[in-house]
């Protein structure tokens, strides 16, 4: 019995061996680098509030790196602020400011080099070149960080959360403003982006390249330079996101380029110049989304095929659909179009007359954008009406055979 | 002058055509707003009213009214009243009647259902269009003594601005599509009051679409406060210039 209790005691002792090293003006250890030098794997470094200007802080041990009352790590606009070069590191509660600005080695607020299981949680990043950079990492969590920068031009600022050649990442609940791209994914697989808010970034709110099998769910992308871009990717799931107020020439709520086998469900596209722009996409299902007050609800280029557009609401858009050719290889079914003028005699909720969502004027402006000047003039309305009756310029198989009579409750 | 305006206004009200016009406008506006839970259909209906019905009714009614009141004008001329005063009070009487008809018929439903920049812009432009086409009616009725000719001219003016002008612009657009004509197109809109009004409203109604593409060019001009001022000055000129030409002719005319 005594032996057992001794073993238990030993066990507790060995767990308790993980020391807490306190850093701060009122503690024996004044500098973070000193603490890191003496720390062992599994230790906790607790940094108290204050301003720490120590150049690049390199974490190369498995430690818990915790800030109390947001101690400031200042890069003084020279170098990278926090480099993580060990597995299982937790970074929590810091205010990371003023990383250097350089195009060659991309200095960051916080950077993870080729490691696993790193958690970066609840930090504030302000005025860094790149915010958080995950490079060749696995199983990392980036959660509840507030990332802010003051970029003026695309080439002068980095991305908020930049992930490259990683997998199994969780990007959750971050707020990103003023960077080039809010969240950037390149060669990142099997990851999830959940509940982030990216607004007022210079280029894209979210930028996806060559990243298969990812999901982004319940994010808000608002007022970014060019919206959200998803390119050269397959198996992406996009659920419950808000794409709002992405205004300007070549600005899109969602830009899809060379995407296959993806699912766009229950998103809201409001007040964008174009809600969704599709180019070279195939086998995508667009279901139960709401397109409201956009310039163009969807722009589906003729290079898209086998996409299904089902059960969406199109409300108050200037143009619901536009395309650049006469080839139509996509299907539209059971959407609600507020411009539909048909009737429903058998009362099954579906209009009895097929709806042609592509208006003549949408085709005209696609070729001659300045014709926009004449939009809603009586002449154009007449032309549009006659085209609806006898389609000659618009492809006649561009059609929703079962348009809904009432908008879906989305 | 006030007394003449009062006489004219009471005459117009007794005439009942303007009352019917007000009634039709209000039935149209209220019912189109009630049609759906969002205001977009109602706004489109009123936009079409502003671009189509308001000019037609304003110019036709004013022209016919002027011809019919030729005897009344002659009677007034025999009194010691300046010609300028008579012509001005006729103009004010007719435009007040048309503006009020539009305001009560379409303006109130607009303000109730869409109390934002779109509604306000439509209201303002609708009133201006009413005045402009009354002024054009004065011009067309003074140009010829023959009633049939004058009314014909009024219809031609309306047809030109409501339909032909846009057709010509469309033709130009496609003929010159290869050239950088965007700025020229902005200039060309100044030649039609209906187009000016339409673009003003469009910039508020289809703001998302107008922000992109060449929309940006229109937005850069019409969307700025300078552009807004310029286009309102242009619209006012469309009312003032035809009326002053007609007044000069009226002053010299041997009746």
pLDDT, one tens digit per residue, over B57-99 is: 999 999 999 999 999 999 988 988 889 999 999 999 999 999 9
For the record, the structure tokens of A209 come out as 């390249």
Query: Among A181-190, B51-60, B179-188, where is mean pLDDT lowest?
Result: B179-188
Within an 8 Å CB–CB cutoff, is residue B52 touching chain A? yes
Nearest to B163 among A367, A368, A378 (CB): A378
User: Would you give the distance in Å from CA A164 to the centre of its chain?
Assistant: 15
pLDDT of residue A325: 83
How distant, in Å, are the alpha carbons of A173, A375, B40, B138, B184 from that of A378? 49, 9, 17, 25, 21
Residues with Cβ within 8 Å of residue A401, at least 6 apart in sequence: A333, A354
Residues with Cβ within 8 Å of residue A160, at least 6 apart in sequence: A130, A131, A132, A147, A149, A174, A176, A177, A179, A181, A182, A183, A184, A198, A201
Nearest to B211 among A273, A317, A373 (CB): A273
Higher pLDDT: A113 or B182? It is A113
| Pair A227, A254: CB distance under 8 Å | yes
Within an 8 Å CB–CB cutoff, is residue A315 touching chain B? yes
User: What is the C-alpha R_g of chain A?
Assistant: 26
Residue A347, sorted as left (phi over 0), alpha (psi -120 to 50) or beta, turns out to be left
Per-10-residue mean pLDDT of chain A, 410 residues long, equals 55 62 90 92 93 92 94 91 94 93 87 94 94 95 95 88 95 95 95 95 92 94 90 94 86 92 95 92 95 91 93 92 87 92 90 89 82 84 84 83 90
pLDDT exceeds cutoff 70 at B236: yes
| Pair A296, A273: CB distance under 8 Å | yes
CB contact under 8 A, A376 and B174: no
pLDDT of residue A4: 60
Segment 176-195 of chain B within 8 Å of chain A by CB: 177, 181-182, 185-186, 189, 194-195
Considering only alpha carbons, which residue of chain B is nearest residue A374?
Answer: B166
User: Would you give the distance in Å from CA A278 to the centre of its chain?
Assistant: 17
pLDDT of residue A377: 86
Q: pTM to 2 decimals?
A: 0.84
pLDDT, one tens digit per residue, over B122-145 is: 999 999 999 999 999 999 999 998
pLDDT, one tens digit per residue, over B9-23 is: 999 888 889 999 999
CB contact under 8 A, A274 and B174: no
Query: Could you write out the DSSP letters of every residue in B43-108?
Result: HHHHHHIIIIIHHHHHHHHHHHHHHHTHHHHHHHHTSS--HHHHHHHHHHHHHHHHHHHHIIIIIH
Instruction: Tell me which chain B residues have a C-beta less than 8 angstroms from the C-beta of A251.
Output: 212
pLDDT, one tens digit per residue, over A109-127 is: 999 999 999 999 999 999 9
Question: How far is residue B23's CA from residue B101's CA, in Å, rounded to a whole number?
Answer: 8
Give how far A358 is from chain B: nearest CA, Å.
Answer: 16
CB contact under 8 A, A376 and B169: no
Mean pLDDT estimate for chain B: 88
Tell the residue number behind the tokens 């403003």, with chain if given: A177
pLDDT, one tens digit per residue, over A44-82 is: 999 999 999 998 999 999 999 999 999 999 999 988 999
The Cβ-side half-sphere exposure at B244, using a 13 Å CA radius, reads 6
Question: How far is residue B60's CA from residue A59's CA, in Å, rounded to a whole number?
Answer: 84
Question: How far is residue A149's CA from residue B183's CA, in Å, rounded to a whole number?
Answer: 37
How distant, in Å, are the alpha carbons of B7, B85, B213 from that of B143? 25, 19, 43
Computed from CA positions of residues A366, A367, A369, A375, in that sequence, does the dihedral angle turn out positive or negative? Answer: negative
Nearest to A374 among B47, B170, B208 (CB): B170
B160 pLDDT tier (thresholds 50, 70, 90): very high
User: What are the structural domain ranges in chain B?
Assistant: 2-252
Within an 8 Å CB–CB cutoff, is residue B35 touching chain A? no
Domains of chain A: 22-343 (2.160.20.10)
ipTM above 0.90, yes or no: no
| Pair B95, B66: CB distance under 8 Å | no
Higher pLDDT: B199 or B150? It is B150
Query: Among A83-92, B152-161, B208-217, where is mean pLDDT lowest?
Result: B208-217
CB contact under 8 A, A249 and B36: no
Question: How far is residue A201's CA from residue A157's CA, in Å, rounded to a whole number?
Answer: 10
pLDDT of residue A10: 47
């Amino acid at each position: 019995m005594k032996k057992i209790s001794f073993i238990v005691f030993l066990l507790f002792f060995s767990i308790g061996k993980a020391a807490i090293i306190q850093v701060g003006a009122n503690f024996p250890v004044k500098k973070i680098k000193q603490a890191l030098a003496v720390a062992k794997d599994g230790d906790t470094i607790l940094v108290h509030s204050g301003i720490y200007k120590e150049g690049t802080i390199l974490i190369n041990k498995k430690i818990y790196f915790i800030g109390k009352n947001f101690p400031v790590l200042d890069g003084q606009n020279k170098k990278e602020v926090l480099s993580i070069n060990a597995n299982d590191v937790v970074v929590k509660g810091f205010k990371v400011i003023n990383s250097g600005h350089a195009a060659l080695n991309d200095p960051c607020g916080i950077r993870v080099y080729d490691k696993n299981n790193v958690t970066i949680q609840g930090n504030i990043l302000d005025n860094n070149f790149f915010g958080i950079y995950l490079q060749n990492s696995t199983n990392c969590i980036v959660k509840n960080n507030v990332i802010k920068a003051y970029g003026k031009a695309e080439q002068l600022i980095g991305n908020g959360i930049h992930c490259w050649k990683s997998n199994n990442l969780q990007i959750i609940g971050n707020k990103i403003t003023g960077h080039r791209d809010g969240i950037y994914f390149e060669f990142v697989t099997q990851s999830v982006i959940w509940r982030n808010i990216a607004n007022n970034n210079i280029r894209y709110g979210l930028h996806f390249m060559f990243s298969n099998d990812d999901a982004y769910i319940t994010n808000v992308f608002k007022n970014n330079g060019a919206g959200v871009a998803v390119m050269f990717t397959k198996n992406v799931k996009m659920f419950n996101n808000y794409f709002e107020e992405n205004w300007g020439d070549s600005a899109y709520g969602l830009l899809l380029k060379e995407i296959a086998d993806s699912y766009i469900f229950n998103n809201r596209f409001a007040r964008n110049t174009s809600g969704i722009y599709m180019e070279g996409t195939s086998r995508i299902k667009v279901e139960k989304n709401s397109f409201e007050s956009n310039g163009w609800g969807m722009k589906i280029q003729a290079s898209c095929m086998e996409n299904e557009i089902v059960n969406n609401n199109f409300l108050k858009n200037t143009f619901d659909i536009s395309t650049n050719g006469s080839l139509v290889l996509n299907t539209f079914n059971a959407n609600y179009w507020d411009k539909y003028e048909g009737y429903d005699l058998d009362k099954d909720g579906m209009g009895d007359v097929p709806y042609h969502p592509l208006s003549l004027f949408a085709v005209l402006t696609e070729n001659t954008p300045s014709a926009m000047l004449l939009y809603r003039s009586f002449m154009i309305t007449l032309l549009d009406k006659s085209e609806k009756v006898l389609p000659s310029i618009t492809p006649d198989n561009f059609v929703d055979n079962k348009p809904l009579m009432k908008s879906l409750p989305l | 002058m006030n007394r003449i305006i009062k006489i004219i206004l009471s005459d117009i009200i007794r005439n009942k055509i303007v009352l019917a016009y007000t009634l039709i406008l209000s039935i149209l506006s209220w019912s189109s707003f009630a049609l759906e839970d969002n205001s977009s259909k109602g706004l489109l209906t009123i936009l079409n009213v502003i671009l189509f019905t308001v000019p037609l009714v304003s110019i036709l009614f004013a022209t016919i009214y002027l011809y019919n009141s030729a005897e009344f004008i002659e009677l007034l001329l025999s009194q010691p009243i300046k010609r300028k005063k008579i012509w001005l009070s006729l103009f004010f009487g007719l435009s007040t009647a048309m503006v009020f008809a539009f305001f009560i018929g379409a303006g109130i439903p607009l303000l109730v259902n869409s109390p934002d920049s779109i509604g306000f812009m439509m209201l303002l432009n609708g009133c201006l269009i009413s005045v402009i086409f009354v002024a054009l009616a004065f011009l067309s009725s003074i140009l010829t003594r023959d009633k049939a000719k004058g009314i014909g001219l009024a219809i031609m003016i309306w047809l030109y601005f409501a339909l032909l002008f846009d057709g010509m612009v469309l033709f130009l657009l496609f003929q010159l599509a290869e050239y950088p004509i965007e700025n020229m197109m902005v200039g060309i809109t100044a030649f039609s009051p209906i187009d000016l009004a339409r673009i003003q409203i469009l910039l508020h109604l289809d703001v998302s679409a107008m922000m992109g593409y060449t929309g940006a060019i229109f937005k850069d001009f019409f969307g700025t406060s300078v552009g807004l001022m310029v286009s309102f000055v242009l619209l006012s000129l469309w009312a003032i210039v035809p009326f002053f030409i007609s007044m000069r002719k009226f002053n010299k005319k041997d009746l």
